[in-house]
Chains A and B, each alone.
Chain A
């Protein structure tokens, strides 16, 4: 029983992290129908800037709100700087092109951003773990847990609720739904579709950077962290369904719990478990758990 509690706690903490790092990828795809391979780099930029702000402005005794505020600020700065730039200068030119062209373009942006990150922060690991170590810990299931990962569970739940509310209960959500359903018809109804695209990509970029910024206190940051996050994020949203925020949430919980159980009971299958679940889901439901079959327009 105690072991199951520990498996559950670890699984939920990992699931929260997975949701935070994959929400932006699925949101961007949901609106723009572009799989953004630079997602991991936006995550890395958010992580590096978040760590930098923590190292410069957060003392070890900083309050939770002040620390989270700095990390949110880092995410917003990265999203607002990089989002409109990437969407308006690059992506806008390829919406009508084949998916391969879109993938190649975002891959090229990913390579550029990787070098930008190295130019700014270098290659030596950056460590800014004050919130992780200084927010205290709690004993659960007989072992010590820092509060910080559970704080992320709360942030992930809050973010999921916020996104659900925006999409289903606001005018903005209705506009997004209209553009997702048919961009040409939306334009004829008076919706400024290019502006919606810029907004959506920027929001996705902020989400990606937020995932990174909130991760920064837990990991040491080195070049290449974005690539690994992109792979795991893709697995999560493929399980949940591309473009579905709810799917990303469910996918995160499924993967988080499965991986946690694998570490405890079948450590040799740690990594394999995630891709086994993805394979099984895609075999029986190629559109993912919450994805919808899309009719291809000619």
Chain B
């Protein structure tokens, strides 16, 4: 009898435990899929893969692993579909259609090239495919059109060049002459336009002494550097990235341009270990250059640890901004899905997730992200800038003189076009 009681008690305990385990793991919402396929699109080949694409892909990888370890999105496991962004825009659009129609992904995250974002946005609306741009910069996406199914969870390019102008004036208020050297394509032209218009507003009377337009990946900048040495501007502004930034800044250092003029880069488009100390540099949103509040954010620290554990990092823990931007996109999606599930009480439709993401605010490895402009589809972020310096203690380059301009200081208000805002003297800016 005693033995019978013990067995019965054991069975009851086991049944109770299994019931507890079953209730502890929340049931997926009604109508939930078995898994949530999310496409992650980044440059996995070509010149943009090293500075942007591969770190972004790796970041998405570790962040999706983290999301899955913590129960997935709304209790559903996320399955990434990594895709190469390389190729002309028409190929990228074809690949987007394949992801939506054949892979049947629930959402597409990514795109680094502005041209690709502009090409994909209307197709995303046409296919009603939830798409969260992960890094591309052009402000035109939401300033020249409305896209119901498209979001961008990182700030657009205006903060790069307006932030550069504000940082320059904070560091050298008496600047008199500026020169520009930018790649001769949309990114270079847009960056210079925003920078020089901002400078004219912020420091009337500043003189532009030279504007140079080498082709992208020209390789050698000796002639341009000679000319800048002859012109002697106070400041040389550039939006170079990747190998162009590395080559230009090292040639500039070897020839004394970095000592003669302030070299100001609007965006950390390369690994800082290859850029000489004393160069002034920005990052599109906090992340690589982390102001104190972001530095303390648990998600920021967790991201660095996860990335370091799987892919390794230099002693300065530098990760390119594209990597942070991809985690922002995934965080935005997660928060939007879970908010929409809570509201609907079941697995939400694409439209319900989109509605939840619009005008949302969420935490990320780059700090708090506000989907504040572009009808709630475009994020605003602060603009951190810094000076690169060598830290002998760790034997690597680090950021110093960090200054972060608030999001409301470097982003236009909702409904206003960036260039109009700059030309009108930044109405409503809170600096």
User: Is A14 interfacial (CB 8 A cutoff)?
Assistant: yes
Contact across chains for A14 and B223 when beta carbons are under 8 A apart: yes
Interface 0/1 of B361-400, CB less than 8 Å to A: 0000000000000000000000000000000000000000
User: Is B301 interfacial (CB 8 A cutoff)?
Assistant: no
Query: In the complex where A144-B256, A222-B50, A228-B217 touch, is A10 in contact with B251 (Cβ < 8 A)?
Result: no
User: What A residues does B215 contact at CB under 8 A?
Assistant: 270-271
Instruction: For chain A, residues 72 to 95, give those with C-beta under 8 angstroms from any C-beta of chain B.
Output: none
Q: Which of A3, A14, A225, A268 contacts B217 (CB 8 A)?
A: A225
Interface magnitude class on chain A = 35 or more
* Whole-angstrom CA separation of A221 from B47 in the bound complex: 10
User: What A residues does B227 contact at CB under 8 A?
Assistant: 6, 263-264
Query: In the complex where A144-B229, A218-B220 touch, is A224 in contact with B255 (Cβ < 8 A)?
Result: no
User: Is B92 interfacial (CB 8 A cutoff)?
Assistant: no
User: What A residues does B49 contact at CB under 8 A?
Assistant: 123, 223
Instruction: For chain B, residues 203 to 229, give those with C-beta under 8 angstroms from any C-beta of chain A.
Output: 210-215, 217-220, 222-224, 226-227, 229
User: Is B117 interfacial (CB 8 A cutoff)?
Assistant: no
Instruction: For chain B, residues 24 to 69, give those with C-beta under 8 angstroms from any C-beta of chain A.
Output: 45-47, 49-51, 53-54
User: Is B250 interfacial (CB 8 A cutoff)?
Assistant: yes
Which residue of chain A lies nearest to B245 when distances are taken between CB atoms in the complex? A220
Query: In the complex where A6-B230, A263-B227 touch, is A123 in contact with B243 (Cβ < 8 A)?
Result: no
User: Is B338 interfacial (CB 8 A cutoff)?
Assistant: no
Interface of A: prevailing SS: helix
* Whole-angstrom CA separation of A145 from B217 in the bound complex: 22
Contact across chains for B45 and A223 when beta carbons are under 8 A apart: yes
Instruction: For chain A, residues 1 to 37, give those with C-beta under 8 angstroms from any C-beta of chain B.
Output: 3, 6, 9-11, 13-14, 17
User: Is B246 interfacial (CB 8 A cutoff)?
Assistant: yes
User: What B residues does A146 contact at CB under 8 A?
Assistant: 254-255
User: What A residues does B47 contact at CB under 8 A?
Assistant: 222-224
User: Is B274 interfacial (CB 8 A cutoff)?
Assistant: yes
User: Is A259 interfacial (CB 8 A cutoff)?
Assistant: yes
User: What B residues does A132 contact at CB under 8 A?
Assistant: 250-251, 254
CB A63 to nearest CB in B, in angstroms, measures: 19
User: What B residues does A195 contact at CB under 8 A?
Assistant: none
Contact across chains for A124 and B271 when beta carbons are under 8 A apart: yes
User: What A residues does B224 contact at CB under 8 A?
Assistant: 263
Contact across chains for B210 and A267 when beta carbons are under 8 A apart: yes
Interface magnitude class on chain B = 35 or more
User: Is B247 interfacial (CB 8 A cutoff)?
Assistant: yes
* Whole-angstrom CA separation of A259 from B219 in the bound complex: 14
Which residue of chain A lies nearest to B246 when distances are taken between CB atoms in the complex? A220
Q: Which of A145, A264, A271 contacts B184 (CB 8 A)?
A: A271
Contact across chains for A270 and B213 when beta carbons are under 8 A apart: yes
* Whole-angstrom CA separation of A144 from B218 in the bound complex: 21
Q: Which of B45, B223, B251 contacts A263 (CB 8 A)?
A: B223
Contact across chains for B45 and A118 when beta carbons are under 8 A apart: yes
User: Is B80 interfacial (CB 8 A cutoff)?
Assistant: no
Instruction: For chain A, residues 191 to 227, give those with C-beta under 8 angstroms from any C-beta of chain B.
Output: 215, 218-225
Interface 0/1 of A135-163, CB less than 8 Å to B: 00100011111100100000000000000
User: Is B270 interfacial (CB 8 A cutoff)?
Assistant: yes
User: Is A252 interfacial (CB 8 A cutoff)?
Assistant: no
User: Is A127 interfacial (CB 8 A cutoff)?
Assistant: yes
* Whole-angstrom CA separation of A163 from B51 in the bound complex: 40
User: Is B72 interfacial (CB 8 A cutoff)?
Assistant: no
User: What A residues does B220 contact at CB under 8 A?
Assistant: 14, 17, 218-219
Which residue of chain B lies nearest to A122 when distances are taken between CB atoms in the complex? B50
* Whole-angstrom CA separation of A144 from B220 in the bound complex: 16
* Whole-angstrom CA separation of A137 from B184 in the bound complex: 30
* Whole-angstrom CA separation of A142 from B226 in the bound complex: 10
Contact across chains for A220 and B247 when beta carbons are under 8 A apart: yes
* Whole-angstrom CA separation of A122 from B58 in the bound complex: 15
User: What B residues does A267 contact at CB under 8 A?
Assistant: 210-213
User: What B residues does A11 contact at CB under 8 A?
Assistant: 223
Which residue of chain A lies nearest to B229 when distances are taken between CB atoms in the complex? A143
Contact across chains for B229 and A263 when beta carbons are under 8 A apart: no
Q: Which of B45, B210, B217, B222 contacts A13 (CB 8 A)?
A: B222
Contact across chains for A125 and B230 when beta carbons are under 8 A apart: no
* Whole-angstrom CA separation of A124 from B210 in the bound complex: 31
Query: In the complex where A125-B50, A220-B243 touch, is A133 in contact with B217 (Cβ < 8 A)?
Result: no
Known: A17-B220, A125-B270, A228-B219. 16 other contacts (CB 8 A): A123-B53, A124-B271, A125-B51, A132-B251, A144-B229, A144-B256, A218-B247, A218-B251, A219-B243, A222-B243, A228-B217, A260-B223, A264-B223, A267-B210, A268-B213, A270-B214
> What residues of chain B have their CB less than 8 Å away from a CB belonging to chain A?
45-47, 49-51, 53-54, 184, 210-215, 217-220, 222-224, 226-227, 229-230, 242-243, 246-247, 250-251, 253-256, 270-271, 274
> What residues of chain A have their CB less than 8 Å away from a CB belonging to chain B?
3, 6, 9-11, 13-14, 17, 118, 122-125, 127, 129, 132-133, 137, 141-146, 149, 215, 218-225, 228-229, 259-260, 263-264, 267-268, 270-271
Supply 19 A–B pairs (Cβ within 8 Å), ascending by A: A14-B223, A118-B45, A122-B50, A123-B45, A125-B242, A125-B243, A127-B246, A133-B250, A143-B230, A146-B254, A218-B220, A219-B243, A220-B246, A220-B250, A223-B46, A229-B219, A263-B227, A268-B213, A271-B214
Counting from the closest, the 6 A-B pairs by CB-CB distance are: A220-B246, A123-B50, A143-B229, A222-B243, A10-B223, A220-B243
